Amino acid sequence: MFKNRFILALVGFLVVAASIYADWGAASWSWFQRSGSVIVLLGALMTYRSILRLDVKGVGGADPTFIKARVADIDNSGGTQKVTVKIDEDTQRLFSQADLDKLAGYVGAIFMIFGTIIWGYGDLAGKILQ
């Protein structure tokens, strides 16, 4: 669950929606302001997805610098020799998960920025909307 950015984002939006509902009509939106801390926490979880997936090996992100592959074809017909390699399923999964880690990190950073703004100034929303 903590690795799935869609579920984390959904939880974040539900928390914000519930806090807006709870504070609607109030002068100070304290629940909305508190929801900012939850958004920051969810953003941090998304940003550190590779650590949640790989434990200590995931620090700094999953880095597929070493891959397993086999030579599938060699083309000697031109001036340069071309080699076609076939990547195994585990390596393809590694690349896919590394891409998901990067995307989750990007979304997590956005969550942390907006969560910090909500956390810091969310109580003023009631005053602005009056």
Residue 115's domain comprises: 5-129
Q: What sign does the CA torsion over 12, 13, 16, 17 have?
A: negative
Q: Would the pTM of this model clear 0.85, i.e. be above it?
A: no
Burial of residue 108, with CB atoms counted within 10 A of its CB: 0-12 exposed, 13-18 middle, 19 or more buried: buried
CA 30 to chain centroid, in Å, comes to: 27
Lowest average pLDDT, out of 19-23, 54-58, 76-80, 123-127, goes to 54-58
The number of domains in the chain is 1
Closest Cα to residue 42, out of 14, 84, 81? 14
| pLDDT confidence band for 1 (50 / 70 / 90) | low
Task: State residue 16's pLDDT score.
Answer: 95
pLDDT tens, residue by residue, 43-95: 998 888 888 777 776 676 666 667 777 888 888 887 888 888 888 888 888 88
